[in-house]
Amino acid sequence: MKNTIINSKYILVLSALIGFTSCNEIDDVSREEAAEVLPELVSGSADFTNYVSLGASFTAGYTDGALFIAGQNNSFPNLLANQFASLGGGDFTQPLTDDNFGGLAAGGTRIAEPRLVFGGSTPVPLESLVGPVTVSTDIVLNNPTGPFSNLGVPGAKSFHLLSDSYGNIAGVGSYANPYFVRMASSPSATILGDAMAQSPTFFTLSEMGANDVLSFAVSGGSGVDQQGNLDPSTYGSNDITDPNVFANVLSGLVATLTSGGAKGVVTNVPYITDLPHFTTVPYNPIPLDAATAGYLNSAAAYGAYNAGIVQGFAYLVGNGLMAQVDADTEIIKRTIQFSESATNAVVIMDEDLTDLTAINPALVSMRQATAEDLLVLSASSFIGTEAVPGNPLSVNGVAVPLADKWVLTPEEQLAIKDATDAYNVTIKAVSDANDNIALVDLNTILSELATTGISFGNYTLKANLVTGGAVSLDGIHLTGRGYSYMAYKFLEAIDDSFGANFIASGNVPNPGDYPTNYSPTLQ
């Protein structure tokens, strides 16, 4: 059985003709003459003299599971600042890391891992290809000096922009963020405060709301009842931010940022479950031969469990605690059955199933996954391993069900969608009510990336892991080319709302200048 199951680590599937009207007169129109037909760049009503960006990991330029110099240089705010420079924009400063390995250290002790790289078929840790590296970006030993124009903080939720303890090194590991520790003007500084201290004339406020649902999603969800509602008794660091709290925070952020007359761009929140972090690992990656499947279906394995489920629901129905039709539905849902096939579904824990352990402690709430469940990307390296090393009867995802942290059930997905929709109602209302605010629709952008793809220059960007070109190797954050498209959409929104003409004048990032993959040898 071990050899049959271990092969499930294959789960990451990787799956202009130019014409001339007169060939004899090609040189008649030079590049310079072609450029002259474009209108002169104008700023409209926007003032780009002092641009400050606020946000989370996308703003910072996080990519391939880490923050590193090359990714920061390709952050969408830095690409915007390059265009703003033609209209009087000043220096754009970023809290650059110390290397291109990625990762963080604190007093020489590693607290965040280096970046991912392409290993030939799947994303792999950098050190698996190049050997051990020294993470030199150390929040104790070598923090850079601000102020910084780019205040993107990986991991920040909306309300963290107002926290006066978020940059306190004493709180790292609990209430503080090591990335903000690197850039905060003082241990009691806030992200918003450090932005306003620079008197911005223009700002971007991006991804507000994304981490407010993302941390819940990447942890497999928690605290959701059978109707997909949040359970306040389970709130913690990974829980979804209450939409009412988000509304108050966002309204306050925008009011403060525009209080001096600055204009800016905000984004709405995408449906994060469209990201390849949640769509790459199939629910049914288990290959089994006839003998192994037969054993798993026998009384010695899941056969006894299946019989116990029938007895447990018979008890509930017989005592008037459940309707027969509901019992029958759940029995079908919970029956575990394997076959001789390459596509057996994994076994998962599901806290939303009826609790039968009071009847029989062995009847834990587990079932086989369906196409409606989403497995997180990290499950790809866990499924098929042995819970007890050397024991082929302890294979995770088969003999041992996957814990909740590996799976987003439909109820948990509903909670994410409901919160996202509520956040986006707030974002649109705040944007519509303020003439100094433009809106970028990240929700539609990710939907298009995940379905039809998006044409950008000579490329078609899609959300597929590794091959799509838009999303980096961690399955969540963008590639350099993806960030260049994000910058393009910001410029488009600035043109539409403030009368600039970046698009029409050709002052936009060239997608071919930005990579979809960084070499393992980049240092």
Q: Please name each of the domains of the chain with its CATH number.
A: 39-279+411-513 (3.40.50.1110), 284-368+374-408 (no CATH)
Two tokens at 489?
Answer: 């959409």
Closest CA to 77 of 258, 205, 254, 187: 205
The CA distance from 5 to 457, in Å, is 43
Phi, psi of 146 (to 5 degrees): -90, -160
Q: Which residues contact 326 (CB under 8 A, 6 or more apart)?
A: none
Two tokens at 320?
Answer: 């008037």
Q: What is the mean pLDDT of the chain?
A: 91
Residue 237 has pLDDT above 90, yes or no: no
Q: Which residues contact 511 (CB under 8 A, 6 or more apart)?
A: 456, 457, 458, 459, 481, 484, 485
Residue 406 has pLDDT above 60, yes or no: yes
Per-residue pLDDT band at 61 (split at 50, 70, 90): very high
| One-letter amino acid for residue 422 of the chain | A
Two tokens at 134?
Answer: 């020294």
The CA distance from 215 to 159, in Å, is 14
Residue 255 has pLDDT above 60, yes or no: yes
Measured between alpha carbons, how far apart are the two ends of the chain, in Å?
42
Q: Are 202 and 263 in contact (CB under 8 A)?
A: yes
| % of the chain at pLDDT higher than 70 | 90
How does pLDDT run across 150-191, given as a tens digit for each residue?
999 999 999 999 999 999 999 999 999 999 999 999 999 999
Per-residue pLDDT band at 5 (split at 50, 70, 90): very low
Phi-psi region of 159 (alpha: psi -120 to 50; beta: other; left: phi over 0): alpha
Per-residue pLDDT band at 3 (split at 50, 70, 90): very low
pLDDT at 220: 87
The CA distance from 163 to 161, in Å, is 6
pLDDT at 273: 97
Q: What is the pLDDT averaged over residues 48-73?
A: 98
Which H or E element spans position 46?
none
Closest CA to 187 of 171, 165, 163: 165
Residue 34 has pLDDT above 70, yes or no: no
Closest CA to 211 of 425, 427, 58: 58
Residue 211 has pLDDT above 70, yes or no: yes
Q: What is the pLDDT averaged over residues 453-462?
A: 97
Two tokens at 495?
Answer: 């043109």
